[in-house]
Amino acid sequence: MEQRLHLVFGGELVDPTKNVFKDVDDLHVVGIFPDYEKAFNAWKAEAQKTVDNAHMRYFIAHLHRLRDEAAAASSTEELG
């Protein structure tokens, strides 16, 4: 069985229209999750906590894609 790890992290952006963090040393690492569903649930929970701050943004990084750079992967493959 293939393991598909996902990292959930976030922080305050310099500009809400760009993905540039204001302070990389202040990133909030939520955790590493064994599948997309668990990562999505963690992402959603953290994003909802900061919904009133337009500069706060959380992301899901697909760590399993970093292990095999030769394999093509769609950004929506987990959505089915």
- 7: buried, middle or exposed (CB in 10 Å: 19+, 13-18, 0-12)? middle
**CATH architecture label of 1-8+22-72:** 2-Layer Sandwich (3.30)
| Cα dihedral: 41, 47, 50, 51 (round 10) | -110
The span from the CA of 7 to the CA of 20, in Å, is 18
Question: Is the torsion defined by CA of 61, 20, 56, 52 positive or negative?
Answer: negative
For 7-62, what is each residue's pLDDT tens digit? 999 999 999 999 999 999 999 999 999 999 999 999 999 999 999 999 999 999 99
How long a stretch of residues is the chain? 80
